[in-house]
């Protein structure tokens, strides 16, 4: 079997072929936060390395949290989070967590 070299950044179709899943499944799972990917305007992009890490992990969420941890020292995140919750007219803390 001939080995195909994929680029570091995959399109939806390339990610779908790589995962051997229908494109609709890849989109659905990405929107659910299960497959690491990003929509840029009308185009989906996937880092091959992130997909490989996700496939090796027990939890796709663990990979996403690890990637989020790389932003821990970003001083703008606190203000960004506050703005998001303000715009959503929600508290950052669920009232149910105090019951």
Angle formed at CA 28 by CA 25 and CA 31, multiple of 5 degrees? 145
- For residue 40, the model assigns a pLDDT of 93
Residue 72 is encoded by which pair of tokens? 């821990």
Question: What average pLDDT does the chain have?
Answer: 80
CA distance 78 to 19: 36
pLDDT of 21 above 90? yes
- For residue 65, the model assigns a pLDDT of 60
CA distance 12 to 21: 11
């Amino acid at each position: 079997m001939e080995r195909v070299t994929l680029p570091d950044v995959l399109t939806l179709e390339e990610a779908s072929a790589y995962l051997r899943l229908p494109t609709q499944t890849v989109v659905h799972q990405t929107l659910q936060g299960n497959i690491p990917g990003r929509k840029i305007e009308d185009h989906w992009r996937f880092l091959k390395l992130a997909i490989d890490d996700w496939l090796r992990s027990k939890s796709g969420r663990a990979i996403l949290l690890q990637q989020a941890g790389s932003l821990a020292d970003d001083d703008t995140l606190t203000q960004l989070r506050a703005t998001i919750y303000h715009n959503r007219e929600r508290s950052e803390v669920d009232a149910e967590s105090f019951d």
